[in-house]
Copies of this chain bind each other. A is one copy, B any other.
């Protein structure tokens, strides 16, 4: 109910839901005129629940929102665990929402969380989010948001990431150092910064080693799935017999390539080395065990909460907030799928 009313007020006045929410909470960055308009309209719409909630506002709600693209995914599940673990230590609770890689859900979920009076939001962008107004308005209004993992350079706020370019460079360099000469790359969908950066890291390593870059052996795995990898394996086997290594942007797809090539009796790693990315549990189970890049999900979740917590405290204390980007180290985990 409350949400519908917030929206109604926003639409009636032609302003954003975030501004309405801020106006009702008496934030400094909303003009007195707007505040007056919003409050009078809210009163006439009988918007009582949130006037009460508003009184609670000065006490922190000690709840944060966590928007995650996909819960059933080893890396993101690790992030949830890390956030909840760090939040617990500070007495915070975490409302988790799944955007399912949808921009529309992401927008709605941010509104829902604002309506719940969360003290801040941790967000990994949905793959199809390309318009950032819903976020930049909110950040400009002084609401604490920290982006993690899937970020964009277009938004000015704190971020917690790994250096995907460097990690992918190192993984490719390892393949080159162990004698691979024709290294295929399996990348993810076109938009996310993570998949772009891993692709750039791969390309840079080739360049650094004077290996010609060949677009015909860069494959896209649209669903990040095992099946995507299996299909690509067939394609490599059929049309690119000279490929002697595959660097895939995620473990599940790397495993798909491995399963696919094995079914075609290609010897791993003797004929083709395979390198994944993320270090999921499954990498210890594949046969041969998968070499990969360790992406520290639990640590990223913990760190993201810590950065958000500091921002919440700084804003409360009216200290100047300095946005920062924390880069967590990754490391190569060499197992049996690479030479």
- Residues on A lying within 8 angstroms of B by beta carbon are 1, 3, 49, 52-53, 55-56, 59, 63, 71-74, 77-78, 80-81, 84-85, 88, 91, 93-98, 112-113, 116, 226, 252, 255, 259, 262, 281-282, 284-287, 298
Identify 30 residue pairs between A and B in the complex whose beta-carbon atoms are under 8 Å apart, listed by A's number: A49-B56, A52-B55, A56-B56, A71-B80, A72-B74, A72-B77, A72-B81, A72-B298, A73-B77, A77-B77, A80-B80, A81-B98, A84-B98, A88-B97, A93-B95, A93-B97, A93-B112, A93-B113, A94-B96, A94-B97, A95-B96, A96-B96, A226-B285, A259-B285, A262-B287, A281-B282, A282-B282, A282-B285, A285-B285, A286-B287
Q: Which of the residues B52, B71, B91, B95 comes within 8 Å of A77, measured between beta carbons?
A: B71
CB of A200 to closest CB in B, whole Å: 29
Judge whether B84 and A71 touch: CB under 8 Å: yes
Closest to A50 in B: B56
Which residues from chain B contact A93 at a C-beta distance below 8 Å?
Answer: 95, 97, 112-113, 116
Closest to A56 in B: B52
Roughly how many angstroms separate A77 CA and B296 CA in the complex, as a whole number?
18
Q: Is the interface of A mostly helix, strand, loop or mixed?
A: helix
Which residues from chain B contact A80 at a C-beta distance below 8 Å?
Answer: 71, 80, 96
Please name the 9 residue pairs, one residue from A and one from B, whose CB atoms are nearest each other, closest first: A287-B287, A71-B81, A77-B77, A72-B77, A96-B96, A93-B95, A282-B282, A72-B81, A71-B80
Which residues from chain B contact A55 at a C-beta distance below 8 Å?
Answer: 52
Roughly how many angstroms separate A61 CA and B9 CA in the complex, as a whole number?
21
Q: Which of the residues B52, B78, B112, B252 comes within 8 Å of A72, measured between beta carbons?
A: B78
Roughly how many angstroms separate A281 CA and B95 CA in the complex, as a whole number?
26
Which residues from chain B contact A49 at a C-beta distance below 8 Å?
Answer: 56, 59
